[in-house]
Structure 1
Amino acid sequence: MIPTKEAKGFIRGRDGATSFQSSSHRPLRLPHPFSSSSLQPLECSSMDPAAAPHRRPRRAAASKTRNYSEDLVDDLLLGQLGPVRKRQRNAADHQRETETEAMIALSLGFPIDALLDSELRSDVLPRPDDQNAYIVIRNHILARWRSSVRSFLSVDNVRETVEQRCAPLIASAYRFLSENGYINFGVSPALRPRLSDDHEGGSVIIIGAGLAGLAAARQLLGFGFRVLVLEGRDRPGGRVYTAKMGETGSAVAVDLGGSVITGIHANPLGVLARQLGIPLHKIREKCPLFRPDGGSVDEKLDQEMDLVFNKLLENASKIRELLGEFVQGVSLGSAVEKLRKLYNVAISRNERELLDWHLANLEYANAGCLSELSLLHWDQDDPYEMGGDHCFLAGGNWKLINALCEDVPVLYQKTVRRISYGESGVEVVVEGGQEFRADMVLCTVPLGVLKSSSIVFDPPLPDRKLEAIERLGFGLLNKVAMVFPSAFWGDDLDTFGCLNKERSKRGEFFLFYGYQAVSGGAVLIALVAGEAALEFEHTDPVVMLHRVLAVLRAIAKRRNIVVPDPIQTICTRWGSDPLCHGSYSHVRVGSSGDDYDILAENVNERLFFAGEATTRQYPATMHGAFLSGLREAACIFHASRSRMFVNEDAKACSQKNLKLCGDLLAELFRDPDLAFGNFSFVFDSLSMENPKAMGLMKVTLNDRMKNCSGNGLAEKNQSTDRELETLQLYAILSLEQACQMQTMSEDDKSRLSLACKKFDLKLMGFSSTCAVGNSLITSISNGRKGRNRHRQSGLKNHGLKNVPIQNGSSFVPTNSLVKP
């Protein structure tokens, strides 16, 4: 399950005004319950209310459902960017559009005035002084496609809006953005025909049909690869799972795994929703909190404890800034608790329950107990979080998965047990022993599966990667999904929270999501995080249902509301699922963001990795998983292209070697050591007195020999007589065997047939001879250089000089049998 990691926690608005956004370590400049003197030792920031807030609670609570209009988004962008075709623009228009395009590129992670590291590695600049022009064109291409993501943006479309003198920069920027998945990705019908039928890229096996695997598969198909996805489940999506619940005929869609699109600005999942025309429902910030007895939390106390929570995180951040690596082994939980005791805050039961609610929300965001999170690096991804509203997808996230599956070959219930990889390619073995082979393999299994060692890698993964797998944390979040006859909690609420008495159970049903606006029915989901999520795995679902209903009825009773029994209930058990072993990753004590990068590294450009635990910028998110798939598709494409260039170089080198070998053979056989009939021989020996000296035989086939069928001789029945006259075959044999061949028969046809049978000669063509006999050819050539000129006396000892040889049209004269 890849739930939300909602900006380090759910963001609450005015009603129960709690806000915990991403950069909790940044100064919070709001009225504060701590005295300024008590905070001086930690050099806390000013508490001036006029100072610019970063973590101020959001106040724009909405009482009515708000949906995005995808067409409106396109229209707004086009209004800012101007018409597509080139037009006469004044300087002000040009500047405005350039600035707008730069801001769009910035929201997509591109620096305004610099190149990405990946752009530098790709050598996108024809000349160094082209950088500024390249950046403007790159930003223009990004903005153009983002303004109309349902359409395929071709390089010709770009040329229509950019001056022709910039053609090299257009080609470079377009190629980089296309290959790396920044444009022309997704599920739009206009993009599907672009999937190539040419399979020049090679073959790739993708393990896992989740967001990462499907994103990579679609990209690779478009690049011309042969792709096969192996999925262990009987459905696609992995940890993104939309269940159909409720009564027959009125089923509702409920996301039991990844559910929230966290930050709609520049989010690729928002692009998919636009392409499909699916409305997005903004999660409203109104989130009242209730005490364990069902009463409402005092608003003033809520605000005070919100500030206490934020200040504790801020001061914990200051500690790590001061001490650095000295707190490498310290957890966030222990630091926060020590600070709480130091400043003597959250002492009363009500205060402590409120603080625990915030801490539970933080554990929800990280799918792990605070006692496991690294104080030094737990929020290392904060600078990269997507901006904008958090949203639900109307009808559930299965719509994205279903669209991504189109045109992608997927085999289900194929649980991978072994991955072998080497220079020649990869082999994947699934449960039951079935084998699949390809050029490369992309592994998108969850980090929990890698930790479980249920997949054997041959050879084993590098120690560097194994250590990163061990260091990173993989935590748990569970849900209780309930379908009710009606939304008794009200149509104006998307969320509400509940406090717990026990610290160890602070994450049990601490937050409820109402899905009535997007699911098609009265659906309520209770979240279970932290230690409570671990206990939840081993508790009877009936018991958990009774507990959650008791919480709801305690709240409703005070408001004279009757909570009916649910029509259907589902309790998740992601930690017990052998195909994930948990929910999503976090930075555990002893780990860092570097470990995400290490997990993303490929092995020998044969074995690649994708998934939310391989992205340093967007871990524990659905969009992070999707983007990692695009990233690895680009890596595979570039690796394949590099290998193709290497193969072409090797082929060119091989052709060069063949030419050299051919020249050497021709030189050797111009002066053979022995010749009779259509046969000639050269030998590897400094002395021709050695009968075991190895050598090469060359036989020239003609019309009279074309039907000879010796061992290893391929007949050329389709060839012309002229071709047969020039066909030359070779064999490796000894000097002794050559002498015996001469006396076997009076005609070459019989002699060759008998020799092939008796000596088991393997006749080879020119290329095979150069490959198999390369060392022998070189040795003969080197030996000949040092050989003395007494061959003739050596051959006399074998009785070859005086053997009578029959003359004929297909034989050489007797006097050419042995050359001096």
Structure 2
Amino acid sequence: MAIARRTFLAGAVSALSLSALAACTPDAPRPVPSPSITPTELPTGPVPNPAAFARSAWADDPFSLGSFSTTPVGATPASRTTLRDTVGDRLFFAGEATSTEFPGTVVGAAASGESVAARVAAVAEPEERIGIVGAGLAGATAARILAEQGFEVVVIEARDRVGGRIDTRDDDGWPFPVELGSASVSADGLEELLRINDVGTITLDATLEARTASGLVVPPSAVGPDAVARAVAWAKAQPTDTSLASALSASGAEMLPPEPGAQGVSPADELVHYLETTVASRYGSSPFELSASYGLDRTGLVDGTALVVGGLDTVVTASLDDVDVLLSSTVIRISYNDAGASVRLGTGESLSMDRVVVTVPIGVLKAGTIEFSPELPGPTAAAIEELGMGSLEQLWLRFDEPFWSTEATVLSVFDETSEIAEWINLLPATGQPILIGLTAADDVPVVLKQNDQEFLQAALQTLEPYLDPALVSTPSPTTTPTGGDG
């Protein structure tokens, strides 16, 4: 059964790249300017205008081309294992995409940095020169360990800052630093690193609340999770991999009653809502892309998740103390043989190394902006092709006063036109009237084409179901939001 986006429940419901550079010496990718905060008047509406805002644009960043790795149809955990296999004892890959235990997370990135450092040290001679491509958490972790072991380490970073997909904005107008990349830590393994670097965190709970467009609260339901679990169980029993959307259809898990129940919402509506909120924001992909057998491998927001409020970039900068870091240096070619390796920069300069560790995101590897000579072995190239890159963008809004009264942490609306999959409500945990909007999967290209005014207007409209009239007694004045770049 062919399934179209938003219409795959038997008709019952109408419902997070750059091209490869082919030349031998391709033009180096250049950073896309961050969306600027320009003075503009927003239309007065029932929801007050924010006092400050910041937005991300990872899918448009040529040095990330997405937010985190995913497991689409055709990929398996073995794809990640293969990617981290050493190539000729000279070339090594690391980063969250190589983690089978915590893919797509800062924990996975840190663990991969430790793992690759051990693999390099096992084959390298003392005082060898090790090049590390990418100054994100994986690269910084590997650099620190190898430098402590006496190797000469050079970190090469295309951006004009370190951190990679950790992007901390400590701007005026915010009570604590804004994390436009990874803002939460939901697995063991990073707590000690945060403590050592004095990075503050606040514990979040995982309470969810969904409302209709008219503001009615929809009772919690297990329809969505149960249907997905049934589809996954069916898919794992099949001889070939299939997408989550196809598994929902073929297993019969999508065949839910279309008749409206509580608050006018049917079980079929609940499944669509679950896919377009929880699944989309957790994996940055649509059910048509995700592997039903292996794609649901990321941990979502669970009770006890730690929100970083002390500046996650400190972990990276501390690891790179006393390490040579070349910023604004785009790598376009990596050559390797039995005698050593070399890294060619977009400026034409070449750097000689004994071994090279590559930690760039899978989106960049898939785009082919780095040429390898000789070409990568077949299994490594296949693993890069198999893995995917999810799209998830954040919109941080700070208000002078809260206009919502719910204590739930994760908010969503039954509205198929909304470009915000979920809102993270920080008021209960921090006492600050801050909401984080998550735009995921197919909606990301849409919002990235919108300027700040257009996106803010659309986002504020999605918050109308959570408006508490008792907290907003007069129309909101037309103000100019301020905030950090996205």
TM class, shorter-length: 0.5 to 0.7
> Which aligned pairs between 1:686-705 and structure 2 lie closer than 5 A?
none
| Residue 335 (structure 1) aligned with residue 261 (structure 2) | no
What TM-score does the superposition give when structure 1 sets the normalisation length?
0.41
Are 1:353 and 1:501, in contact at CA under 8 Å, matched by a contact in 2?
A: no
Match of 2:421 in 1: 510
> Which aligned pairs between 1:641-720 and structure 2 lie closer than 5 A?
none
CA distance in 2, matches of 1:470, 1:417: 19
Q: After the TM superposition, which segments of 4 or more aligned residues of structure 1 sit over 6 Å from their partners?
A: 385-388, 517-520
Describe the shift of the 1:380–1:525 C-alpha distance in structure 2 as closer, same or farther (beyond 3 A).
closer
Match of 1:261 in 2: 185
CA distance in 1, matches of 2:463, 2:302: 33
CA distance in 1, matches of 2:461, 2:302: 37
CA distance in 2, matches of 1:254, 1:554: 26
| Residue 298 (structure 1) aligned with residue 214 (structure 2) | no
Unaligned runs of 5+ in 1: 1-179, 186-198, 573-820
The code of the aligned residue for 1:355 comes to L
Match of 2:279 in 1: 362
CA distance in 2, matches of 1:251, 1:311: 39
Higher helix share: 1
SS of residue matched to 1:499: strand
Residues paired across the two proteins, number: 359
371, 387, 390: which one aligns with 1:456: 371
How far the C-alpha of 1:343 sits from its partner, in A, is 3.4
Are 2:403 and 2:472, in contact at CA under 8 Å, matched by a contact in 1?
A: yes
The code of the aligned residue for 2:212 comes to R
> Which aligned pairs between 1:267-278 and structure 2 lie closer than 5 A?
267=189, 269-278=190-199
Match of 1:284 in 2: 205
How far the C-alpha of 1:223 sits from its partner, in A, is 1.2
Unaligned runs of 5+ in 2: 1-112, 119-124
How far the C-alpha of 1:466 sits from its partner, in A, is 1.4
CA distance in 2, matches of 1:218, 1:414: 20
Are 1:357 and 1:510, in contact at CA under 8 Å, matched by a contact in 2?
A: no
Describe the shift of the 1:501–1:552 C-alpha distance in structure 2 as closer, same or farther (beyond 3 A).
closer
How far the C-alpha of 1:426 sits from its partner, in A, is 1.1
The code of the aligned residue for 2:283 comes to N
| Residue 239 (structure 1) aligned with residue 165 (structure 2) | yes
How far the C-alpha of 1:345 sits from its partner, in A, is 3.0
Match of 2:89 in 1: none
> Which aligned pairs between 1:605-644 and structure 2 lie closer than 5 A?
none
Describe the shift of the 1:347–1:460 C-alpha distance in structure 2 as closer, same or farther (beyond 3 A).
farther
The code of the aligned residue for 2:287 comes to L
Match of 1:143 in 2: none
Describe the shift of the 1:466–1:557 C-alpha distance in structure 2 as closer, same or farther (beyond 3 A).
same
How far the C-alpha of 1:338 sits from its partner, in A, is 4.9
CA distance in 2, matches of 1:205, 1:388: 39
The code of the aligned residue for 2:137 comes to L
SS of residue matched to 1:288: strand
Structure 1 residues 11-43: Cα deviation after superposition (integer angstroms, max 9, x where no partner):
xxxxxxxxxxxxxxxxxxxxxxxxxxxxxxxxx
Q: Superposition RMSD on alpha carbons, in Å? A: 3.2
Are 2:127 and 2:150, in contact at CA under 8 Å, matched by a contact in 1?
A: yes
The code of the aligned residue for 1:366 comes to Y
390, 398, 409: which one aligns with 1:495: 409
431, 447, 450: which one aligns with 1:536: 447
Q: Rg bigger for which structure?
A: 1
Match of 1:314 in 2: 229
How far the C-alpha of 1:347 sits from its partner, in A, is 4.7
373, 389, 392: which one aligns with 1:477: 392
What TM-score does the superposition give when structure 2 sets the normalisation length?
0.66
Describe the shift of the 1:419–1:181 C-alpha distance in structure 2 as closer, same or farther (beyond 3 A).
closer
Describe the shift of the 1:346–1:339 C-alpha distance in structure 2 as closer, same or farther (beyond 3 A).
farther
Are 1:340 and 1:346, in contact at CA under 8 Å, matched by a contact in 2?
A: no
Describe the shift of the 1:500–1:511 C-alpha distance in structure 2 as closer, same or farther (beyond 3 A).
same
Match of 2:136 in 1: 210
313, 319, 333: which one aligns with 1:404: 319
CA distance in 2, matches of 1:513, 1:566: 23
How far the C-alpha of 1:246 sits from its partner, in A, is 3.9
469, 481, 484: which one aligns with 1:567: 481
CA distance in 2, matches of 1:517, 1:407: 40
Are 1:393 and 1:518, in contact at CA under 8 Å, matched by a contact in 2?
A: no
Match of 1:177 in 2: none
How far the C-alpha of 1:514 sits from its partner, in A, is 3.6
Higher strand share: 2
Sequence identity (%) = 26
> Which aligned pairs between 1:78-117 and structure 2 lie closer than 5 A?
none
CA distance in 1, matches of 2:407, 2:301: 24
Q: Which has the higher contact order (CA 8 A, sep 6+)?
A: 2
Are 1:332 and 1:375, in contact at CA under 8 Å, matched by a contact in 2?
A: yes
